[in-house]
Amino acid sequence: MTIPYLDSSVETSVRVSDLLQRMTLEEKAGLFFHPYSWLPSETLSSSAAIDAARVLIEDKNISHFVVMNGTSASEIARWTNALQEIAASTRLRVPLTFSSDPRSGFKSSAFTGQTLDSLSRWPEHLGLAALGDLSVVRDYADTIRREFLAMGVRVYLGPMADLFTEPRWSRGYGTFGEDPDAVALFTAEFIKGLRGQAVVGHESVSAIVKHFPGAGPQEAGRDAIDVRFPDQVYPGGLKDVHVRPFISAINAGVTQMMLYYGRPVGTDWDTRGFAFNKDVVDGLLRNELGFDGIVTTDWNAVGSEPFNGHPFGPIAHGVDGTTVDERLVLALEAGVDQFGGDTLSAELAQLVRDGRVEESRIDASARRILTEKFRLGLFESGPVDPHEAERVARDPRSRSRGRAAQAASLTLLKIHDPELLPLAAGTRLYARGFDGDSANSPFVFVDRPADADFCVVRIDSPWEPDPESSVPDLHGGSLEFAPELIESLRALASVAPLILDVYLERPAILAPLLDVASILVVDYGASDEVVLNALAGHTEFGGRLPFDIPRDMASVEASREDVPFDTVRPTFRAGDGLQLPAGMKLVGAGE
């Protein structure tokens, strides 16, 4: 007997129907869950990691995993091969779909993306926005496509199409900035770069665009991933503006979309969290916008799973007091296809047996999910080559383009005297905030400010620790630098002219630094070598701010979370940046 779903010459819809009718209810239910896949680590042995994965694949019929941990491309390739081998021994041999958060930026967080030094390194997406070059956005996405394919990873958890309209928001660094039109353009271009062809195919990486319908307007910037802060607010009435980049993503052919945790306040939508919100999923996304791809929740919106050894979830805003079963039903009624983080396949199957969920509803989502597996060519894909994965990851051309993007995104905001740059070879520098890797630098580093021609300091955007936060590596709170830091910088500047570079994870309040620094540069993820090369005139300062820089916290607190460019009299505006071409005099801002 022939099996059409294994015959790649057969039309995809026929293959999907054939496989779907062969699946048991439990096997269908397993498609709905997209949990963590933890690679071996210092705290998790190889055997324990494999055993945990085997339970999910064989006992729970799960075939989607987000890859966690990993120290190199070759290690991840070996891991995806090992788990695919387990899947190949199951009854229907349904291949696994592996996803990953960003791996090539500079901000590393277990919750939002663990960077890998073995991959090419690029600025955060804010840096791509600062560049303003669609070809670089597509090039970066295409690089991710090639690196992910080599590791056996076929889905990218991104890009973020959210608008960075609330300056305090801890996740804004992963966005393309504050301008709705720019974010829409960059989002579409990124999707095309990941796809690599006209439609999703065997050489594509699928994008899961997030976080519908736009996670930017978090109340006071406090992120809804924390159960204490459920609300997304719209005091300016601009919810449609936040949806605009997602419309661009749909027009660009995106096939997967992720909902955020928050519950909307101040709109005509239901006030349930988006994972349970029929107005938003079925009403807006499905019916009004016509999206028929896979809709997934953010991780652990329904259930709770261990994360780094600690309980995480449920993050079920607006449906407090409901049971796991009730949350599953509400999400399915809203239009959800897949549940990030959770592993509740047995519970879902039982809901069907109990008559609380129709099997036809299960089939509708299962069909979408299986269609994506076939489109990606997973049934035809063999093991990946770990050596090839490492070769692709270390491709010098990709690494060079990543460094070029870092450099070109550097934004020069102040220079006291145009004659200060470029710094001549042999200039004596006293450095703080550098990791010591300056072997390729043309400068001489000294141990005392008094011996320096310039003091050069790199600092991060300010943030306030929150000991009660469930996600401590997301940085929120005040945007003001500590007075003691400003005084220490002032002391350095009194000895030698100060060159200051600030990593803009969020739009820090820079006004108090303007009379301290002789040269003020901001970056969005750049290596020490890249910054030093720019100061030497080897590369241009080509970046422009992707958001406004507020004047003070009073203006931030008075601004409306959903309204772009809403802080009064900002110190710098989006688009600001002085152009100082390599080895040349200052030509001014706005040119």
% helix, strand, coil for the chain, step of 5: 35, 15, 50
At 131, give phi and psi (nearest 5°): -70, -40
At 589, give phi and psi (nearest 5°): -90, 155
- Find the helix or strand (DSSP H, E) in which 454 lies: strand 454-460
Question: Is the distance from CB of 179 to CB of 546 less than 8 angstroms?
Answer: yes
Task: Give the three-class secondary structure for 380.
Answer: coil
Structure tokens at 105: 């930026």
Question: Is the distance from CB of 126 to CB of 410 less than 8 angstroms?
Answer: no
Active site residues: 298
* Angstrom distance (rounded) from CA 122 to CA 135: 14
Task: Give the three-class secondary structure for 67.
Answer: strand
Q: With helix as H, strand as E and coil as C, how does 205-259 read?
A: CEEEEEEECCCCCEHHHCCCCCCCCCEEECCCCCHHHHHHHHHHHHHCCCCEEEE
Cross-strand pairs, 312: 305
Structure tokens at 546: 């992707």
Structure tokens at 395: 């491709």
**Order of strands, edge to edge, in the sheet holding 64-68?**
36-38, 64-68, 97-100, 155-156, 206-212, 256-259, 294-296
Burial class (CB in 10 A: 0-12, 13-18, 19+), 437: exposed
* Angstrom distance (rounded) from CA 242 to CA 215: 8
Q: With helix as H, strand as E and coil as C, how does 307-325 read?
A: ECCEEECCCCCCCCCCCHH
Task: Give the three-class secondary structure for 413.
Answer: strand
Structure tokens at 239: 């919810």
Q: Count the alpha carbons within 13 Å of 46 in the hemisphere toward its beta carbon.
A: 5
Say if strands 454-460 and 310-312 run parallel, antiparallel, or are unpaired: unpaired
